[in-house]
Structure 1
Amino acid sequence: MIFWIILAVIFSIVAWISLGSQRSILGTLPTRTILMQCGIIILGLATSIPIYLHLGRAEIAEFAADHKDVDFSNPTTSSAFMLNELKKAVLKSPNNLLLRQNLTKSYLILGLYTEAKTSAEELIMISPNNVNSLLIMADIAVASNRGIFNQEARELVTKVLKIEPENSNGLILKGLDLKQKNKTNEALVAWRKALVTLPPTSNLKKELNLLITAESQQAVKEAITDQNKAAENSFNLSVKVLQEKALNTKWKPQDTIFITTHYLDSPRIPITASRRFAGDLPFEITIDENSIMGVRKNLNPAKSIFVKVRVSESGDTQEQKSDKTVKSTPFLVTEKNQIQLILP
């Protein structure tokens, strides 16, 4: 037991000094160097047991003497050695679930996705309903897909939560998937549920709490922004166009009717433009922010606008002397949502 503890500490310290401190698993996706660093530390702990079982109660000096060709001060060399020892242990005990899970996770941490997937498939064969095995497989599916959840990962997470509805890791993964789908509020529900299941002293709980706080604040900001945009783009005007029946003016069915809106201070430039035909009379159209032309995103609520209806026999977009025109009285965008214009 003493040998195992000392060996684990030695490997961890060497890796830590060589590579630096690790990043949060809930932070930015780690680089390959960070992955190597985390892998070495975890492998140091994960492989101490099989090494100990394999060698028996050997003294550290005896162990070092038997492995003179291994430079344990080199992170790459030591990680390769430890991974190899773990593989040997799995070969000796192929049905040992913990050893297989550690081996599969080690492949994943070191970025060996092909080996990780093969190992995970073997793991699932001997433990098809083990939630830890399913979660490892889900991690591999996401990591090998550049951090993006795919259908395989979603199905694995769903299976985990079907077996253990309050599994914290499963809920965290579910939240991450929902976040990628821009379903922040649903993601927060999953993360808050996971938060309850984690021990009070858990570092993961602290990190998850920070993530929830940050995402909640962002969700509030986005909601306020959406509300402001909705307020800015609340322009929605119904325009009803009729023909004066008392007059005997007759339009040809193919005559074009242009319905445009303009700012009072710049009447020559239309804000919106719609086209109908005399044969459509009477008719009603709706003008809203989607009708706005050009680079404008919304109307200036402080400016007055008016609606112009023009009947053109030629159908020319440029106004002709023979055209018949009628204009509404000016009004602010927020003052009206319906007007009626009667053609002479």
Structure 2
Amino acid sequence: MDNDLDALRRQLQQLKDLHEAGTLGADAYDSARTALEQRIVALVMQAPAAAPASTPAAPKLPRALVLGVGAATLVLAIGGYLWTGSPQLALAPVPASVATAASGAQGIGQAEIEAMVGTLQQRLQEQPDDAEGWLMLGRSYAVLGRHAEAVPAYRRSLALRPNDAALLSDMADALAMVNGRSLAGEPTTLVEQALKLDPDNMKALSLAGSAAFDRSDYATAVKHWERVAALAAPDSPWLPRVRESIAEARSRGGMPPAAAVAAAPPAATAGPNASGAAGTPGATIRGTVTLAAALRAKAAPEDTVFVFARPAEGPRMPLAIVRKQVKDLPFEFVLDDTTAMSPASRLSTQTRVVVSARISKSGDAMPQPGDLSGQSAPLALDPKGNTGLRVEIGQVVTP
């Protein structure tokens, strides 16, 4: 589950990057972000999986950074493109079927993407001069792992739009995958062209660093990857891996360790919450959850108990969450930024929250009829921490 959750969080950061770069319109960003946040909620509320595999010795920047577009983002982008003719999704609502595919709790499958790819192929037969369409097709093939098919799609797009740094980087990545993950030759040439057009293109920088590392040019790898680290948002989930790669390149190249990188800024700098307030740095909520005596017969010992905080105003996306079982009741809980759902949605970004507790027989992320629930009154967060909160589960969820 951790790997899947990390991937979703990376996709959430990718959406933010695309939006801030002006590539993704505000409406499309809000729609796609909501879909991803719903999937994060669903995944976090599932039982934990086995520990992730160990990191390979030779550092490579995360594929999410290299690919640049995650599956959920891509499904929304393709769907919006087919619906509106614009990959930015900003001109019209995304069809319900597309939003459902992107937000389904079981994740996005290959079948959903392949169906959209088939429709996209048909459109390109009718509109062969559509550079955006060929780019979208290439990225679709890349997400599906069909890199040999991605290359000619990228070439068609590049012929129509030759001075596009992002497109050059995408094609370099696909060619490298076809060549056994080697960036030597044409991929490196494409990356160099991309950096001439856009010296701060993060994907091109990451690929250039990998190419330099592969040829044992560790100083150049460090230069490119340190630029990636400088450009990345402080809360980017893949930033620690970038720093690990920098440290490894410095070590292999006999260079001294880099000066300590400043830690991510405190949560209060993350920006205003939905009400316009600046947030509550250091926010912590400690309390106890109990089950009303009248409902004890309706709950089994193995039923799942979710305790979560959400904004008192604005989106209902949980900010922090813990998971227990009925047999643990009554139990004490702690909610803070270490139990956050995503780096972009943390308890410390708020000033007022509501704390809820819910017993789910199915373990489903979404409330179901027959679930048992309870919640606190709106709670003003105290920078010194809130303690002594009591939440009683005393209601039955109705249809």
TM-score range, shorter chain: 0.3 to 0.5
- Structure ID, larger Rg: 1
- TM-score, normalised by the number of residues in structure 1: 0.47
- TM-score, normalised by the number of residues in structure 2: 0.42
Higher RCO structure (Cα 8 Å, ≥6 apart): 2
